[in-house]
Amino acid sequence: MDELTLMRSFRAERARPNPTARALARRALEARFEAATTAGFLVQDAPKVRHQTVIQRRRLLSFAAATALAAVLAGVLVFSSGPTAQPAAAAEVLRQTATIAAAESGPGLFPDPHQLIFRKTVRQELEEWVPGKYTASYGGVITTKPVTSYGGYVRSTEEAWMSTKRRGRQRIVLDKLSFLSAAERQRWKAAGAPLPIPFDGEAAPSPEEHVIEIRRGVRDVEVLDGPGYGRFAKLPTAPRALRHTLERKQAGEGKVDDGQVIAELWDILEKANTSPALRAAVFNALAEEPRIGLDRTAEDLVDRPGYALSYASDKASLYQQGGIRTEYIFDPETSAILGKREILVDPSERPWVKGIPAGTVLRDAAYLGSGIVDSIHQRPRR
């Protein structure tokens, strides 16, 4: 089943048709497609320009390993800021979305004790890996001894069966590797095309995991209690009270940070079992943020159109440390949560990520749908 068909199969993900964007993407793909298939997943150079959001660059790239490996950086995913609404306009959009969220039927996804919540997610991250040893965010391989590492975008699809009452399941399939340059891809192929963990087919399961399938490009295991989900029955559904609850929690740990409050509010929205009333409270609480930004021209990882929230904080903010901006993408017409991405905004704050320009997307995720199922071998009906 392709991603478009899958998205249509979930009621919560009613994406608006965008034939123009789809045609442009198809033409761009045909113009640059050069790929090789390795164990059923796609290997290619880093994605090239899509509309005006990706900038082609060529730079010298140095890995943080003692071997001082170098590669030319080409076609790194770089996103422009896009049209951004003023805080007042953003607040109005969020309040309208809250009204839509509150009108949804049902209390949220609360399965019976014998049932599970199923969720499907597509992820893409700029990673660096040392074959057979470890995988880290790009630039995160720091050792005292010389090692050989490889870097590029790792895209995967995760299916999770979640429960707090019984064993769950996590199936992760490698979709494709997109290297930062053709030279880097050739170096990787010459070494035998080693995959990052957990897709190398060699990573042993933990004592809490039961293997369903582990092979090159696939890791499928039963997990104790599953990738758990939270219950929010005790959280207030009045927007101001909800925000104050999160702020009091932060105050107990130190200084209250608005950016972190936004992150925690969004975490509530991401949970499949959040009730309509609580989802509405979250959108209304976000509307009270005085410096929240809104990009009306955003697209998520699988090209669904939506709006992207971001937060403009000062340098002293805990949220801004690390030179990263997080964008939260949603559909204002349905209140559906589409995805989340992290973008490098200040390379000087992350000196270990050498040669990567500002605007590079470091992590990206798209949530394709969720539902209640009776077993770890069942998926929601179309």
CB environment 88-110: b (16+ within 10 A), e (fewer): eebbebbbebbebbbebeeebbe
What's the gap between Cα 249 and its chain centre?
26
- Strands (E) located in 63-185: 70-74, 84-85, 116-130, 134-137, 150-162, 168-179
375, part of any domain: no
Q: Does 270 have pLDDT greater than 50?
A: yes
352, part of any domain: no
| Beta bridge mates, 158 | 121, 172
- Strands (E) located in 226-266: none
Regarding whether 156 and 128 lie in a shared domain, the answer is yes
pLDDT of res. 322: 67
Helix (H, G, I), strand (E, B) or coil at 69: coil
Report yes or no: 185 and 45 within 8 Å, Cβ to Cβ: yes
pLDDT of res. 172: 97
State the Cα–Cα distance between residues 319 and 136, nearest whole angstrom: 21
Reference 188, options 339, 15, 46; nearest CA is 46
pLDDT of res. 363: 94
**SS3 of the chain: helix, strand, coil, percent, to 5:** 25, 30, 45
Report yes or no: 257 and 250 within 8 Å, Cβ to Cβ: yes
362, part of any domain: no
Rounded to 5 degrees, φ, ψ at 348 are -65, -20
Least confident range of 8-12, 73-77, 155-159: 8-12
For residue 312, give its domain range: 84-113+230-346
Distances (CA, A) of 66 to 102, 143, 212: 55, 7, 38
Mean pLDDT to the nearest integer, 12-17: 38
pLDDT of res. 45: 61
Mean pLDDT to the nearest integer, 340-345: 91
Regarding whether 97 and 58 lie in a shared domain, the answer is no
DSSP 233: T
State the Cα–Cα distance between residues 314 and 101, nearest whole angstrom: 31
Q: What is the pLDDT of residues 188-226, one digit of tens each?
A: 999 999 999 999 998 788 888 899 999 999 999 998 765
Q: pLDDT band at 285, cuts 50/70/90?
A: very high
pLDDT of res. 313: 59
pLDDT of res. 44: 63
Mean pLDDT to the nearest integer, 175-184: 93
Tokens read off for 380: 């929601």
Helix (H, G, I), strand (E, B) or coil at 286: helix
Angle formed by the axes of helices 276-287 and 87-102, nearest 10°: 170
Q: Does 377 have pLDDT greater than 90?
A: yes
Regarding whether 171 and 153 lie in a shared domain, the answer is yes
Regarding whether 96 and 184 lie in a shared domain, the answer is no
Containing 373, the helix (H) or strand (E) segment is: strand 361-373
Q: What is the pLDDT of residues 90-136, one digit of tens each?
A: 899 999 999 999 988 655 566 777 888 899 999 999 999 999 888 88
pLDDT of res. 251: 66
Regarding whether 97 and 44 lie in a shared domain, the answer is no
Regarding whether 312 and 280 lie in a shared domain, the answer is yes
pLDDT of res. 19: 44
State the Cα–Cα distance between residues 186 and 188, nearest whole angstrom: 5
Mean pLDDT to the nearest integer, 167-181: 94
Regarding whether 217 and 109 lie in a shared domain, the answer is no
Regarding whether 331 and 238 lie in a shared domain, the answer is yes
**pLDDT more than 70, % of the chain:** 67
Q: Does 258 have pLDDT greater than 90?
A: no
pLDDT of res. 193: 96
Q: Does 16 have pLDDT greater than 60?
A: no
Q: pLDDT band at 249, cuts 50/70/90?
A: confident
Q: pLDDT band at 47, cuts 50/70/90?
A: low
378, part of any domain: no
Regarding whether 179 and 45 lie in a shared domain, the answer is yes
Q: Does 379 have pLDDT greater than 70?
A: yes
| Beta bridge mates, 38 | 41
Report yes or no: 138 and 128 within 8 Å, Cβ to Cβ: yes
Which amino acid does the sequence have at 286? L
pLDDT of res. 98: 95
Please provide the average confidence, as pLDDT, over all residues in the chain: 76
Regarding whether 280 and 136 lie in a shared domain, the answer is no
